[in-house]
């Protein structure tokens, strides 16, 4: 029979061991290296293994890549793509000169053609992530024009024009060797994996393991390639929408109050999600249920 004093010593030793383990745990989390490339490889390996019959190039088509029935319907829809009108409006807006006579094309590398796959970008001068919508608004500001609301059809139409010129180009999001860029990436990763809203759901809750499954009438798209089809004509909206509009509506669906469309958190999470899609060709503008 173990004596009381001996039992006390065992208990004390157990408590000390637990305390040491607990003390070590936060240090381990804090020391965790930010390694975007390792994250991308791990997530893409999971998604490609989950959908072995889906070609890598097809992941930019979201739910239509992973569900045969939806794909059939989508191919029918694409006989007359619902984003065509927005593309026409976008082209007209793109060509329309600003009051000072300059154009959107004057603000971008390669006149804005075939560059969508490089957005969002980390801008060293500001130390922040800039989305395509942010770049368009910066261009407008530089030319004395008022910014556009990133949630509007007009903004989506402009990004549709830029996306169309990048179709087939693989996502090539760059994270420069700058601690601020890595921090922005990590904040985006935190947003992606953090449970939010009254439903306590994270982006990952729907778009990692459950990708391809049904959520009511919808098929959940995998994260890999999810922004490649942006902007999208969404039947649910009856209009075009930007990536930010989609992220904000996802927030609402979890019963989280959406943030300001230009909030740093939204830009950072788009940076993270887009980096996870590196190598997946642009398919936008797209259409979704």
Partner 1 sequence: MIRAVLLAAGVAVLSLPALAATQAEAEAALAAAKAAETEALAAKAAWTTTEANLSKSVKALAACNWEEAKATADEALALARRSVEQAEEQKTIWRNAVFR
Minimum CB separation from partner 1 for residue 222, in Å?
12
What's the rounded Cα separation, in Å, for the pair 283 and 56?
A: 12
| Residue 108 contacts partner 1 per CB under 8 A | no
Minimum CB separation from partner 1 for residue 245, in Å?
16
What's the rounded Cα separation, in Å, for the pair 182 and 201?
A: 25
| Residue 43 contacts partner 1 per CB under 8 A | yes
Q: Is the distance from CB of 111 to CB of 117 less than 8 angstroms? A: no
Q: Is the distance from CB of 102 to CB of 71 less than 8 angstroms? A: no
Closest CB to partner 1 among residues 39, 218: 39
The binder of partner 1 chosen from 149, 218, 262, 265 (CB under 8 A) = 265
Minimum CB separation from partner 1 for residue 29, in Å?
6
The binder of partner 1 chosen from 170, 197, 212, 289 (CB under 8 A) = 197
| Residue 24 contacts partner 1 per CB under 8 A | no
Q: For 195-200, which contacts have Cβ atoms below 8 Å and span 24 or more sequence positions? A: 196/251, 196/254, 196/256, 197/251, 197/253, 197/254, 197/255, 197/256, 198/254, 198/255, 198/256, 199/253, 199/254, 199/255, 200/254
Q: Of the listed pieces 6-14, 138-146, 152-160, 198-206, which binds partner 1 according to CB under 8 A?
A: 198-206
Binding to partner 1 (CB under 8 A): which residues in 45-84? 46
Answer yes or no: 107 catalytic: no
The binder of partner 1 chosen from 195, 215, 235, 236 (CB under 8 A) = 195
* Closest residue by Cα to residue 253 from 207, 189, 213, 190: 207
| Residue 189 contacts partner 1 per CB under 8 A | yes
Q: Residue 114: phi, psi to the nearest 5?
A: 55, 40
Residue with tokens 């208990």: 11
| Residue 252 contacts partner 1 per CB under 8 A | yes
Q: Is the distance from CB of 59 to CB of 228 less than 8 angstroms? A: yes
Closest CB to partner 1 among residues 113, 204: 204
What's the rounded Cα separation, in Å, for the pair 161 and 120?
A: 16
Closest CB to partner 1 among residues 14, 41: 41
The binder of partner 1 chosen from 77, 169, 263, 289 (CB under 8 A) = 263
* Closest residue by Cα to residue 228 from 54, 51, 43, 65: 65
The binder of partner 1 chosen from 48, 98, 108, 193 (CB under 8 A) = 193
Minimum CB separation from partner 1 for residue 251, in Å?
9
Name the DSSP class of 186. H
* Residues near partner 1 (CB under 8 A): 26, 29, 32, 39, 42-43, 46, 189-190, 193-198, 200, 202, 204, 208, 252, 255-257, 259, 263, 265
Residues annotated catalytic, as ranges:
250
């Amino acid at each position: 029979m173990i004596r009381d004093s001996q039992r006390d010593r065992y208990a004390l030793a157990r408590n000390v061991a637990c305390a040491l383990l607990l003390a070590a745990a936060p240090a381990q989390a804090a020391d965790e290296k930010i390694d975007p490339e390792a994250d991308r490889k791990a997530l893409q390996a999971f998604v490609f293994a989950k959908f072995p019959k889906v070609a890598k190039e097809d992941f930019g088509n979201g739910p239509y890549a992973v569900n045969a029935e939806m794909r059939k319907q989508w191919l029918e829809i694409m006989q007359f793509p619902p984003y065509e009108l927005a593309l026409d409006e976008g082209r007209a807006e793109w060509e329309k000169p600003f009051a000072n006579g300059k154009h959107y094309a004057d603000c971008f590398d390669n006149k804005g053609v075939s560059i969508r796959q490089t957005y969002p970008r980390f801008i060293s001068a500001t130390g922040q992530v800039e989305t395509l919508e942010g770049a368009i608004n910066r261009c407008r500001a530089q030319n004395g024009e008022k910014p556009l609301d990133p949630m509007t059809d007009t903004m989506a139409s402009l990004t549709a024009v830029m996306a169309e010129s990048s179709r087939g180009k693989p996502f090539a999001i760059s994270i420069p060797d700058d601690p601020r860029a890595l921090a922005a990436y990590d904040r985006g990763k935190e947003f992606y994996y953090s449970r939010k809203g009254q439903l306590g759901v994270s982006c990952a809750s729907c778009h990692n393991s459950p990708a391809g499954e049904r959520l009511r009438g919808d098929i959940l798209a995998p994260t890999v390639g999810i922004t490649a089809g942006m902007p999208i004509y969404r039947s649910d909206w009856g209009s075009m929408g930007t990536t930010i509009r989609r992220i904000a509506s996802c927030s609402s669906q979890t019963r989280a109050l959406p943030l300001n469309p230009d909030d740093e958190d939204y830009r950072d999470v788009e940076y993270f999600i887009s980096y996870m899609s590196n190598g997946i060709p642009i398919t936008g503008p797209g259409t979704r249920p």
